Amino acid sequence: MKQNRFKPEAPSPKGKSVSAIASNKRSLRVFYAFGLIVLMSFASIWVYDAITQSPYFAIKQVDISGIQRVKRNEVIELTGVTNQTNLFQINLNTIEQQICCHPWIARASVKRSLFSNLVVTVVEEEPLAIVNIGNLADIIINTQGHPFKEYDPQKDQLNFLPTISGMDLTRAGNSFGFEGPLFNGIMDLLEIQGFGRIDTIMGDENIGITIQAQDIYNKNPGLQATLPIKLGFTRFEEKRIKAIKISTYMDKYFPDKAIRAMDLYNIEKIFITTKEIDALHHTIEKGV
C-alpha cells in the first residue's frame, strides 16, 4: 500500500489574468459608451443653440390662409412672432392655442416651411343665428349650435341672420350652451331652406316654434313683407310642403284673399288667417 499523494492543482495565475483582462475590457466599453453619450449630448446642445440663435433662420415671411372676417395683422399679432423670431425656437402648439383665442377662429394649424417661412391655416367660425337672451347681450351661435361670440352689430354686420328668442343658456362643465327639445327643434328648422328668409324665430317651451318668414306664399307683391308661421316642434319639412300647397290653393281658388298668418302646429288640422285684397291684379293677369 502506497500513501495517496494526490493534491488539487492550484488555480493557474494565467487564468486569473484572463478574467481580469475581460473585466477591464467591459469596464472600458462602459466608460467609452458613457463618454460617447456625453459627447453627443454636448454636440446636440451646441447644434441646437447654433440653429435657434442663428439669424439665418429668422422668420422672414408669414403665410396666412383661410381668413375672411379676421384681419391678417390680427393673426400675426396673436402668433407673437416678429422678423427677429427664430423659426426653430417657437412652439407650434402654443402659437395655435394663441390664435384660437380669437372669437372668430375655430381652429388653426401652424407649420414651418423651408428655413424662414411660417405657414398659418385658419378655419373661421360659420355663424348660423343670433340668440337674444333676456336683458343680456345677444350671442352668435355657429352651425353646431355653440355660442362663440357676443354680437356687435357694427363690427359683425350679420343682419341677414335670423334672430332667436325664448331660449336660456345652460351650464355644462366650464362652458355655457343651449340644449333641450326646443333648441333641437330650432336647429332642425335652420337646416331647411324652403321657408324663405327667416327674420325671427320665437321659441316657447309649450307651443314650440313660431317664425317670421319672408312672404313667399302670396302672389300679390303689394302685401306684407313677412308672414308669421307657427310650426310646433317637429315635422318641419312636411309642414313646409303643406304651406306651399296651401299657397297654391289659395291663389287658384281665392285670388281675392291674402294669407296673413299660418298655424301648422298640427299638420292634420291647419289654420290660416286671411284678408281681403284687390283682385284687379289677378283679373288682369288671367285675362278675365
Tens place of pLDDT per residue across the chain (288 aa): 666 666 665 555 555 566 666 677 777 777 777 777 877 776 666 555 555 666 777 888 999 999 999 999 999 999 999 888 888 888 999 999 999 999 999 999 999 988 789 999 999 999 999 999 877 789 999 999 999 999 999 999 999 999 999 988 888 777 788 989 999 999 999 999 888 899 999 999 999 999 999 988 887 655 578 899 999 999 999 999 999 999 999 999 998 889 999 999 999 999 999 988 765 444 434 433
Q: Which residue has 306684407 as its cell numbers?
A: 224
Q: Which of 97, 124, 151 is the last residue of a domain?
A: 124
Own/partner pairs for 62-69, CB < 8 Å, 24+ apart?
62/117, 62/118, 62/120, 63/113, 63/117, 63/118, 63/119, 63/120, 64/120, 64/121, 64/122, 65/120, 65/121, 65/122, 66/121, 66/122, 66/123, 66/124, 67/122, 67/124, 68/124, 69/104, 69/124
Question: Do residues 109 and 145 both lie within one domain?
Answer: no
Segment holding 262, helix H or strand E:
strand 257-263
Kindly report the backbone phi and psi dihedral angles of residue 78, in degrees, each rounded to the nearest multiple of 5, phi listed first: -70, -30
Instruction: Give per-residue pLDDT as tens, 92-135.
Output: 999 999 999 999 999 999 999 887 899 999 999 999 999 998 77
| Tally of domains within the chain | 2
The enclosing domain of 134 has a CATH number of 3.40.50.11690
* Threshold 0.95, pTM exceeds: no
Question: Do residues 131 and 264 both lie within one domain?
Answer: yes
Q: Which of 94, 124, 154 is the last residue of a domain?
A: 124
Is residue 104 one of the residues assigned to a domain? yes
Is residue 17 one of the residues assigned to a domain? no
Question: Do residues 118 and 171 both lie within one domain?
Answer: no
The enclosing domain of 67 has a CATH number of 3.10.20.310
| Residue-range definition of the domain harbouring residue 156 | 127-286
Question: Do residues 275 and 132 both lie within one domain?
Answer: yes
Kindly report the backbone phi and psi dihedral angles of residue 38, in degrees, each rounded to the nearest multiple of 5, phi listed first: -60, -45
